[in-house]
A and B are shown apart, each in its own frame.
Chain A
Amino acid sequence: LAKTTQPISMDSYEGQEVNITCSHNNIATNDYITWYQQFPSQGPRFIIQGYKTKVTNEVASLFIPADRKSSTLSLPRVSLSDTAVYYCLVGDETGTASKLTFGTGTRLQVTL
């Protein structure tokens, strides 16, 4: 299983750009990288998914270096409502669901 490591928590002020990095040193060739956001007492919500280089959508950007051993979720100009736990998952589309292991995630706190 491709294990992931993220910082336990991060703090930011409103309006700043936040970058959360995830390490996945033993990522497999077929593995994709997926990020989720979870608010208290709610289910996680899909944010973005990528395989290599850079992916951008209306919510975030995902940067993946050439060796794919890490990835960085970038949230532009965060607001108070971005306070949540962010999870990085690694797995491939042919694998079992057990490979999609949610770790402890990164707890982002945004303040004024």
Chain B
Amino acid sequence: ETGVTQTPRHLVMGMTNKKSLKCEQHLGHNAMYWYKQSAKKPLELMFVYNFKEQTENNSVPSRFSPECPNSSHLFLHLHTLQPEDSALYLCASSHLQGNEKLFFGSGTQLSVL
């Protein structure tokens, strides 16, 4: 148990669906992250939030929409996804943004049909 909880654990959706991924951390951290990991590929940083403010967006398509209502919760809203978006989506948190220890959730395995 890392203190970072992601739901759902698995998700199957069609290309016209709208769904949301949820992440919650119980560590009192101030920075939260979304990563994407496709099969056989390195983790790709998608978004970074620091004290609820988005500080990084690594050229992520607009069909992915993050939301950070407070320092403990992070959402990733999905709409009109493509099959190539199928991947493991990982949430992480750290005390502060930067070279801090990252604590990851178990991820959401997403399949887009």
Measured CB to CB, the residues of A under 8 A from B are 31-32, 34, 36, 41-46, 49, 89, 91-105
Are A43 and B92 in contact, with the CB atoms below 8 A? yes
Which residues on A sit within 8 Å (CB–CB) of B4?
Answer: 43
Closest Cβ neighbor of B49 among chain A residues: A97
Which residues on B sit within 8 Å (CB–CB) of A45?
Answer: 2, 104
Task: State whether the Cβ of B101 lies closer than 8 Å to any Cβ in chain A.
Answer: yes
Are B107 and A31 in contact, with the CB atoms below 8 A? no
Between A and B, 11 residue pairs with Cβ closer than 8 Å are A36-B102, A45-B104, A49-B101, A89-B99, A92-B99, A96-B56, A96-B97, A97-B31, A98-B48, A104-B42, A105-B42
Are B42 and A42 in contact, with the CB atoms below 8 A? no
Tell me the chain B residues, 68-108 only, with Cβ under 8 Å from chain A.
88, 90-92, 96-107
Which residues on B sit within 8 Å (CB–CB) of A46?
Answer: 101-103
Measured CB to CB, the residues of B under 8 A from A are 2, 4, 31, 33, 35, 42-43, 45, 48, 55-56, 58, 88, 90-92, 96-107, 109
Q: For the complex, what is the distance from the CA of A103 to the CA of B43, rounded to whole Å?
A: 7
Closest Cβ neighbor of A91 among chain B residues: B99
Which residues on A sit within 8 Å (CB–CB) of B109?
Answer: 41
Which residues on B sit within 8 Å (CB–CB) of A97?
Answer: 31, 33, 45, 48, 55-56, 97-98
Closest Cβ neighbor of A94 among chain B residues: B98
Are B56 and A93 in contact, with the CB atoms below 8 A? no
Are B99 and A95 in contact, with the CB atoms below 8 A? yes
Are A93 and B103 in contact, with the CB atoms below 8 A? no
Closest Cβ neighbor of B103 among chain A residues: A46
Q: For the complex, what is the distance from the CA of A58 to the CA of B87, rounded to whole Å?
A: 33
Which residues on B sit within 8 Å (CB–CB) of A100?
Answer: 45, 99, 102
Q: If the complex has contacts A44-B104, A45-B104, A97-B56, are A102 and B43 also in contact, measured as CB distance less than 8 A? A: yes
Contact with B98, one of A95, A101, A104 (Cβ below 8 angstroms):
A95
Closest Cβ neighbor of A90 among chain B residues: B99
Q: For the complex, what is the distance from the CA of A42 to the CA of B107, rounded to whole Å?
A: 6
Q: For the complex, what is the distance from the CA of A46 to the CA of B101, rounded to whole Å?
A: 7
Which residues on A sit within 8 Å (CB–CB) of B107?
Answer: 41-43
Are B43 and A99 in contact, with the CB atoms below 8 A? no
